[in-house]
Amino acid sequence: MRKLPSLQALRAFEAAARLQSFLLAAEELHLTPSAISHQVRGLEAYFEHKLFNRSNRRVELTDSGGRLLATLSTAFDMIEEVCRDLSPKAAAESLSVHCTPSFASKWLGPRLPAFMREYPSLTIRMSSSAEPVDLLKEEGLDVAIAYGSVRAQAGVVIEALGAERTAPLASPKLVGERFEREDIAKLTLIESKLNPVRWREWFKQNGLKMPDKPQPSFDRAALVLAAAVDGLGVALESVRFAERELASGELVIVGEGLYSPIERETHFFCYRAADRSSRKIQQFHDWLLRESRALSRDD
């Protein structure tokens, strides 16, 4: 059987010695200063040594008190560490998000570190595909960011992520310094197959005749932009997807100021109406809308 003084008295002494104050120790342990003093006096009687030199406003450790504090601090640190290791870990909350591959890689992915810094306890689990998903059937998903036209569905809340600007994008080497309004018809036009905005619509809006010539096409915005960076031709894509390339100078907006861009809502935030009060969904929703609106202001 271990021969030890009261653990409560040892805790009172350790707190008072560490904080150098009976008052602060009392506040930490939710006791009264007189209770702390009583516990310490009990220890001093047990050891037959003074542990503190007391004055009106402060207490100072004696040599015996210093020796006891050094040992207790190490022991309590070890006890606290093993208790923390053995305690059940708080389950990290996760949010399952589905979106298109290009939205994930070109826009959402680069912003997720900022979201994680703002909400460190929420883990994003992302999946992507070009095909739309049905949230009422895909119970493992919390939210979906749909692309293109979205059909209204009972039980699903759908909210647009703001209007996006679609404009012709190309390598600055391809465009050159002197660019006339009619010059775009001389360039190779890259078709983005999934983009609801097509070249024919863009030429019509700008009062130009669309050239009758072959158009290379890709089924991902990321591939379309990569082809434009490589100088294959001019892409008609969302400026939202080309942030990095425009910032680095790999791409420029062709004839900016000469043409009228097309603005349209093409991305939509979707979640089940039954989850309307979900805190994690609302946190992600509010953050996503702030990011989208900031981009719209920059445009």
pLDDT of residue 276: 86
pLDDT at 213: 86
Q: What is the pLDDT of residue 108?
A: 92
**Helix H or strand E segment including 144:** strand 143-147
Q: What is the DSSP letter of 104?
A: I
Please name which of 219, 259, 223 lies closest in space to residue 242, comparing C-alpha atoms.
Answer: 223
- According to the model, what pLDDT value does residue 170 have? 93
Strands (E), 31-121: 52-54, 59-61, 93-99
Q: Given this model, what pLDDT does residue 151 score? A: 83
Nearest to residue 292, comparing CAs of 49, 127, 103, 21? 103
Domains of the chain by start residue, with CATH: 7-86 (1.10.10.10), 93-299 (3.40.190.290)
pTM above 0.85, yes or no: no
- Give the pLDDT of residue 57: 65
Of 147, 263, 252, give the one whose Cα is nearest residue 205. 263
Report pLDDT digits (tens) over 32-83: 989 988 999 998 899 898 998 887 667 788 999 889 889 988 888 888 888 8
Q: Which residues of the chain have pLDDT under 50?
A: 90
